[in-house]
Amino acid sequence: MQHILTASNSDVLKLLGSRACARLGFARHIVSSGIEAVNAARHLKPRLAVLDGDMPDVNGFEACRRIKAEPTLKETRVMLVLQGPFTRDKLGQVAEAGCDDVMVLPALDAEFFAHVADLLSLPRRHGRRVTVELLARVEEGTRTWEGFIENLSTTGAKVQLLEQLPSLPFVRAWMRRQRGGRVTEVDARVVWRQDDGRGVGLEFRNVSLEVREQIEALMLWDVALEDGQLRVYLDGDFIETTDFAGLDRQLAGSVDFDASGVRYINSHGSRLWVAFLRELDTVEHYTFSRCSVAFTLQAAMLDGFLGKGRIVSMMVPYHCETCDREDIRLLQVAAITDETGALALPSFRCSRCGSRLNEEEIPEKYFGFVKR
Ligand SMILES: [Zn+2]
């Protein structure tokens, strides 16, 4: 059994009790003081310790330092949870503690889970949760089967049909978003078929460059309602063929965009994105979370790239000079301070060798959106 050690902070316990965290199946051990945390860590050798900065007797910073100094606890990752706003003083304490991550409260379940998943080297998402956005019609001869795409890549799809598909070697698939838009047509081989004949795995055949681009456009976004929060997952490239048509009709109220999957953005793509946000008038409030480096760089460079929204968290490239490797960390904007006019970030230790990491990007350039 794997263990997570946690301070008895009610906010943290609530975040650790989220469905996503519970699914990890870790045993939770709750400690109520810093000394207790260090002793329990020695005994349990947890994969992760979530320590509150304000614990009684020795505080979380000191408990973290002691855990990190313990040779038998090399594998234990430590997250410090702190109340905002962040100050230079707090950043100094974080640097001395040598923690692996900081979490500023209050935070959303999805944000906390993404940090935990990164610390434990686990995937943040298992496939696409869009069961309703794409409509697939699988036809052979004169018959047609309708259904939904559960999982889509440029090489194939997992499809759930409304009616049983007989055992067939090849099909032709029409794919489109549920609420309209361009139809993508592709030949496919049926690589597996569930016993009920409704769950089917397809492998696309003879995919032309044009069809590939159409599939990538279909993969670009998916919308999910998670714990009462409408979340849009953005995946892929923002380029000439990028198509946000139909996305606005699925959004209303408050929306969180998860931009962790945005790999590349060119000037055409960023114009299309800015135009999309400008016309997004059904949404009152929106945020961008877990932004990829590509997305964050565009936001830093281009006025209007975030529309009326703001970034909650982003991937930050750090560099270890000892290992000469990039170590990318997920960081909340709340963990950055501009207290003295210049931006400052928490500093962490290299996850491989333990040396202190340096920020790769100049903060003023990478975090241009913070001051705007
Ligand atoms: Zn290193």
What is the Å distance from ligand 1's center to 122 Cα?
20
Residue 259 in tokens? 């931009």
**Below-70 pLDDT ranges, the chain:** 126-142, 178-181, 361, 371-372
What is the Å distance from ligand 1's center to 350 Cα?
5
What pLDDT does 320 receive?
A: 92
- 70: domain CATH number? 3.40.50.2300
What pLDDT does 131 receive?
A: 37
Q: Are residues 278 and 333 in the same domain?
A: yes
Give tens-digit pLDDT for 9-61: 899 999 999 988 988 889 999 999 999 999 999 999 999 999 999 998 999 99
What is the Å distance from ligand 1's center to 111 Cα?
26
Would residue 314 count as lying in a domain?
Answer: yes
What is the Å distance from ligand 1's center to 100 Cα?
13
What is the Å distance from ligand 1's center to 69 Cα?
17
What pLDDT does 130 receive?
A: 37
β-sheet bridge partners, residue 171: 188
What is the Å distance from ligand 1's center to 78 Cα?
17
- E-strand ranges in 126-216 read 134-140, 143-152, 156-161, 170-177, 184-193, 199-205
Q: Are residues 307 and 360 in the same domain?
A: yes
**Domain final position from 64, 92, 119:** 119
Q: Are residues 103 and 21 in the same domain?
A: yes
What pLDDT does 363 receive?
A: 74
What pLDDT does 308 receive?
A: 95
What is the Å distance from ligand 1's center to 255 Cα?
37
Strand order in the sheet with 283-289: 221-226, 229-238, 253-265, 283-289, 310-311
Domain count across the chain: 3
Question: What b-and-e string marks burial along 264-273, b requiring 16 or more CB atoms within 10 Å of the CB?
Answer: ebeeebbebb
What pLDDT does 132 receive?
A: 36
Q: Are residues 109 and 8 in the same domain?
A: yes
User: How do beta strands 27-31 and 134-140 pair?
Assistant: unpaired
Distances (CA, A) of 275 to 3, 243, 272, 279: 47, 11, 5, 6
Question: Domain span at residue 45?
Answer: 3-119
Distances (CA, A) of 237 to 76, 83, 127, 260, 267: 36, 35, 18, 12, 11
Would residue 337 count as lying in a domain?
Answer: yes
- 176: domain CATH number? 2.40.10.220
8 A C-beta contact, residue 82 and residue 90: yes
Q: Are residues 197 and 329 in the same domain?
A: no
What is the Å distance from ligand 1's center to 102 Cα?
19
Q: Are residues 262 and 358 in the same domain?
A: yes
**Residues around the ion ligand 1 (C-beta < 5 A):** 320, 322-323, 350, 352-353, 355
Please state, as a whole number, how many other Cβ atoms lie within 10 Å of the Cβ of residue 325. 14
What pLDDT does 246 receive?
A: 80
What is the Å distance from ligand 1's center to 75 Cα?
15
